[in-house]
Amino acid sequence: MDSRTHRSNQVSAPEYVFLISELAGEKRFASIVAKRLESLGALTHGDRRATESRDLSQFNLDNKYGRDALEVLLKSVTGALNPPLIPPPENYKPGDFFQGNWPAFPAPALFIRSRFSCADHECLDMRLYMEGVGLLSKQPNTDCYIIERDSATIAKFLNRILGIPVHAQNALFHYFTEIVAELIAQAKLDGTYDMGIMDLGTGGDQVRRLETRVFVGKADKGGFRVEMQKIGVERGLSWNEAYTLYKEHNSDEDGFYVSSGSGRQVAVLVYGIGKRRFDSGARYSIYQPYTYFGLPLALLPIAKFRLYAVTRPSIGRSPKLITMADITKRFIKVAPEDAKKLWEDQYEGANDNCHHTYVNGKCKSEAMGVYCEVGRRTRTYFVLSGSVLSVWPVVEEVLSDRDRKASRMQVIRVRTEQDQKIVGVLVLPQFVRKLVARLEEHCSRCFVEAKKEDNKDKSN
């Protein structure tokens, strides 16, 4: 299964059919295969042009959103997350999805572990089912359940639910996939969805192609073409744009704030996001522990807070949403007229200075001769696109670095203002000069391509 098929002179390509039943627990086998294929670098698409409907990677649930969804599921079933992120399945007929009516049996957990064949007891709720397969455990002499240690792993969850009756197994897995979909939808709405690909030009940023350096391969090596794209991104927000955005949000806490700490004052625009969301770091709800004789059993919600977006004149809206409690620790609310001068000064200052230089008057990185882009309004990116695999040995040699973070490969997808689409590998500024020199040695010729947008402007 984990191999590659080579074909030549075939009238029709072989068709591989992945057989899997409707039983939810068997999704575990597809998940294992999909993850194994991806780890080996194989395509999980049946066709490079295929959409997600023919994508085997849809079965790979062992990722960030799958693990977060499992945490939400377990806390929803135990009552720690109340109300749950999303309602339980409506078509679950045997009883209450979260809490059913258990008949009087001396050892319910033992009964669950032995057989689920008794039709008279299909009112069992998910807590007892999951206790029976070892995902949850019940505290003695209480009605409270806690999550078993090491239960929050996708592999263990998919393996253990095979021991649950079919109707409950399918309902539980359906609820799990619904939570995954909700978390992904919220991440996309907040602009924090991570596909493993960096996107430029999909939000409000202004993206321009500043320069394209073309490298053409030698004829004996196939005459490939590789391009080093220099991309400029304008991501700031002028005062007029900020004030227009301010007028669209009129809640009590929405408005302009200025920093309350030491250093030069900066202004930000804060407005609430009405979407409820779950995050493994800061929760939408604040919870306090519920204890029984000093033993923590569950987390009960004591207050709910709105999440807020923070927009700065230098970098625009931050993708991270925070609570008002975090905002008031660092900022003080002011009237728009009091924030205008600070906003305009920061907007202009961010064009030539990093955030550290603007606020503190100095930057440690720039003092050591390293160009700092933190908080700059305009950022420059270098993208290697085209037949990158043809020059991969050269790229790998140049980008290899002792610093693992600096040498990590990042795929980037760019859409310019002229609707030009560029996909390639992100090259950090410190590697650009060396990579260009090595590519010039490796290729037959190199030239700088005229910008198409400039040609269009001249023709008009």
Q: Which amino acid is at 307?
A: L
* Phi, psi values for residue 97, rounded to 5°: -60, -40
Lowest mean pLDDT among 207-221, 267-281, 321-335: 267-281
Most confident stretch, 2-6, 16-20, 203-207, 343-347 = 343-347
Confidence of residue 404 (pLDDT cuts 50, 70, 90): low
The residue extents of the domains of the chain are: 24-59, 73-174, 197-235+378-453, 239-367
Cα separation of 237 and 245, whole Å? 10
pLDDT at 190 over 90: no
Confidence of residue 68 (pLDDT cuts 50, 70, 90): confident
Cα separation of 44 and 252, whole Å? 49
- How many other C-beta atoms are found inside a 10 Å radius of the C-beta of residue 443? 21
CA 215, chain centre distance (Å): 34
Note whether 165 and 122 are within 8 A (CB): yes
- Mean pLDDT, range 345-372, rounded to an integer: 88
pTM of the complete model beyond 0.75: no
Q: Which amino acid is at 248?
A: E
pLDDT tens for 200-227 read 766 667 888 889 999 998 877 777 899 9
The first and second tokens of residue 398, run together, are 């140049």
Q: Please tell me the total number of residues recorded for the chain in this structure.
A: 460
pLDDT at 192 over 70: no
pLDDT at 434 over 80: yes
pLDDT at 384 over 90: yes
pLDDT at 258 over 90: yes
411-415 and 197-200 beta bridge pairing? parallel
Most confident stretch, 71-75, 117-121, 247-251 = 71-75
Q: Is 432 helix (H, G, I), strand (E, B) or coil?
A: helix
Note whether 189 and 203 are within 8 A (CB): no
Note whether 99 and 125 are within 8 A (CB): yes
Note whether 354 and 373 are within 8 A (CB): yes
The first and second tokens of residue 287, run together, are 């919870």
pLDDT tens for 359-379 read 988 999 888 888 888 888 888
- pLDDT of the residue at 305: 54
Cα separation of 387 and 391, whole Å? 7
